[in-house]
Amino acid sequence: MDRISILQFRRQAEAIIRQVQQGKRLIVTYRGKPVMRLEPIRPEHVGPDDPFYSLDRLGVAEGQPLTNEAIDQIVYQD
């Protein structure tokens, strides 16, 4: 992934945004250290099998409440 400085971004913001819109991903640095990532937002279709839609069922499994960590693991598949 290419890197650009905050100064480069400020000077060339419009051109950089166009590159990101075309699919380029960039790391933005401040004083040589990475501080953020620029990447395009891709439209996604969320299907009915998305874990978000089953949160009501995830709250209790086998009669025992799940912890927030357990739910996060299921939803985010960590």
Tokens matching residue 1: 């992934």
- Is the distance from CB of 8 to CB of 14 less than 8 angstroms? no
Question: Which position has the higher pLDDT, 51 or 16?
Answer: 16
Per-chain mean pLDDT for the chain? 83
Tell me, yes or no, whether 28 and 49 share the same domain.
no
Tell me, yes or no, whether 29 and 51 share the same domain.
no
Give the pLDDT band of residue 72 (cuts 50, 70, 90): confident
Number of domains in the chain: 2
User: pTM score, two decimals?
Assistant: 0.53
Question: Which position has the higher pLDDT, 21 or 68?
Answer: 21
Give the pLDDT band of residue 14 (cuts 50, 70, 90): very high
The residues, any chain, with a CB within 8 Å of residue 65's CB and separated by 6 or more, are: 59
**pLDDT of amino acid 45:** 75
- Domain enclosing residue 32, as ranges: 2-38
